[in-house]
Amino acid sequence: MFKEFQTDITTIDQNVRDIIQKNYKNIEELLTTPNPTYQNFVKEIEEMEDRLELEFTQISHLNSVNNSEETQKIYADLLPVITEYSTKMSQDKRLFDVYRQIKDQESANLDLEQNKVLDDALLSFRLSGIDLDEEKKSRLAEINLRLSDLSNQFSQNLLNATNAFELIVTDEADVQGIPESDLVSAKCEKGWRFTLQMPSYIAYMTYGPNRELREKLYKAYVTRAPQNSEIIDEILRLKNEKAKILGFESYADLSLATKMAQSKEQVIEFLQELLRKSKPQAKREFADLEAFAKTKIASWDQAYYAQKLRKERFDLNEEVYRPYFEKSSVVKGLFAFLNDTFGIRFEPVKISLWYPTATAYDLYENDEVIARIYLDLEARESKRGGAWMHNWQSHHKDKENKTILASAFVVCNFPPSSENNPSLLRHDDVVTLFHEMGHAIHHLLSKTHESFVSGVNGVEWDAVEFPSQFLEEFAYEHSVLKTFAKHYQTGEVISDIMIQRLKDAKNFQSAMAMLRQLEFALFDFKLHSHLYQGDEVQSLLDQIREETSVRKPPTYNKFQNGFAHIFAGGYAAGYYSYKWAEVLSSDAFIELIENNFDPKLTKAYKEQILYKGGSQSMSELFMAFLGREPKVDNLLKISGIMQ
């Protein structure tokens, strides 16, 4: 029913190479098909691609969650092979001609999903340079190969730099006020060890009383991987060249060809509108913080004083909350909420996985298994930072009309558990888990029959965050928290007062947080709208900070060298997508609130958004869900930004 996850990367490596060679042979045979149709041609290619993706995903996943010299080498060696294969497929004029022929001849007899598969494929062919001469095609192939290698280098440099730094604190006075659970995790032979891994870094930056040590830690974090600056220059040059070869003015224009947003001007105006409406409140928030601190606040002070002000204003002590958010209890509570809301039951599966703390669950709907999810939630040095969902199998029907079920990974970096200490989460971690699970159920609950538009496949990049941001709003809801927020030692359920404080504090300094995201989004989009090199990259960031910052960061802050979303992920010229999709999620959630969480609305969301995957544009699906266009101001409203 589900593919068994393999951990022998040497075997996986060989399997990937074998599948690619077999696919090349199968393509040649397919191209001799006398009367190619959707069923005997497109479905065959779909299955070939699925087999390859199933195998390769295992290596890319292991390289992210169990990184070692061996995984690094095999993954790096395999990337050019995969990239070459993808480029050859996407630039094969014979394939393009057959797809176009099938579209012309069969379109009227195909269903919505099948036509979307063909439309997406034809656009992808064109964006891969199918109409170019051989010289330009060859150059495009070289660029794609080099870009995949550079992205991997960028990510590996960042991981290596993150793992290379440690701050040993020996004076007990310098850890006063840090939560006990964080101190237990940091304890070492010489005192306390703090690193650039997220749980550890956040702990000292938020609670560490020694200002000099906070600055030392901050400086180490924002100056990581300086060698990435050269990689950034080359990535930008190649992406700009790629866009020009394909007939676009810039890489930003190329990026928008597969997104909801229609033009660069629309994206910039969208971001600028949010900036105009958020900055006055952000300035007030920062002035308020400095007044509380009674000092000028530097970058390494902000989280420290913000925590103190938040605690004073809302009586919110993270350490008091964390015993109520024990990892296993949170996971069970999230599963129970999804069962109540969407009728999805989660049952554990006992199988061997890549790490002892990784787990697997089968999803049941109407007592039938419909999907599988793998969770890997605790931080470790062999795992890259951050949190993500990665799809593995996609729900679809194969060429024999057999239903193939979906599967996905959810990966986070929560405080690690030990024999004596459970993993106790911050509420922010709970929100993160809800967010990633929103992505997961978007993929896993899909009912589409075509793999290429199933789940998150085929969804516009600036809409893909909608279901994740929608679900995270429930992490603040009273009825949801009451189901799982129980003290791990006493069993005491979180009190109404504690929940209300969380809700009251939800939008604490939300305008400053909005400006931070707008800084990232504007930097990314403008960076890819023209060619910037060397010092111009920093100059652009400085200019944007003039507009978006209420406090200037130090000149040594080289944030761009760690901006993995756009240089090692898929968000180049697309980071704005977080806010674009948040318009959809905020509007949908407010609609639910204003209708007292009407079950008819959650049913409509499940059927029109989750079930449909990428089978239609999200603008069409949203219209089917609520019967109207989304309202931008609801994003500001839900963020507590007053107009």
Tell me how far apart the alpha carbons of residues 192 and 170 are, in angstroms, rounded to a whole number: 7
User: Which DSSP state fits 629?
Assistant: P
The dihedral formed by the CA atoms of 208, 214, 217 and 223, expressed in degrees to the nearest 10: 150
- Catalytic option among 46, 55, 436, 450: 436
Report CA-CA distances (Å) from 302 to 103, 206, 215, 289, 298.
57, 8, 11, 8, 7
Q: Give the pair of three-digit tokens for residue 358.
A: 């990784």
Can 436 be counted among the known catalytic residues? yes
Contact of 243 with 144, CB cutoff 8 Å: no
- Taking the mean position of all CA atoms in its chain, how far away is CA 369? 26
* Spatial contact of 474 and 338, defined as CB atoms under 8 Å apart: no
From CA 118, how far away is CA 4, in angstroms rounded? Answer: 31
> Please, which residues bridge with residue 194 across strands?
167
620 Cβ neighbours under 8 A, 6+ residues apart: none
Query: What's the Cα-to-Cα distance from 427 to each of 124, 315, 341, 499, 524, rounded to whole Å?
Result: 41, 15, 21, 11, 29
List the one residue out of 174, 308, 152 whose CA is nearest residue 228: 152
Q: Which of 181, 183, 191 is nearest to 429 (CA)?
A: 181
> In whole angstroms, how far apart are CA 116 and each of 48, 92, 124, 577?
19, 20, 12, 22
E-assigned strand segments in 379-419: 388-391, 396-397, 403-404, 406-414
Q: Cα 483 to chain center, whole Å? A: 27
Cα(first)–Cα(last) distance of the chain, in Å? 53
Edge-to-edge strands of the sheet including 406-414? 345-349, 359-365, 368-378, 406-414, 388-391
Rounded distance, CA 639 to CA 443, Å? 27
Residue type for position 390: H
CA separation for the pair 454, 405 (Å, rounded): 11
Q: Is the dihedral of CA 638, 640, 642, 643 positive or negative?
A: negative
In 10 A of CB 463, how many CB atoms? 23
CA distance 323 to 181: 9
To 10 degrees, the CA torsion angle through 102, 105, 108, 109?
-70
Distances (CA, A) of 510 to 17, 589, 597: 49, 18, 25
For residue 276, what is the enclosing H or E element?
Answer: helix 264-293
- Give the residue numbers annotated as catalytic, written as ranges: 436
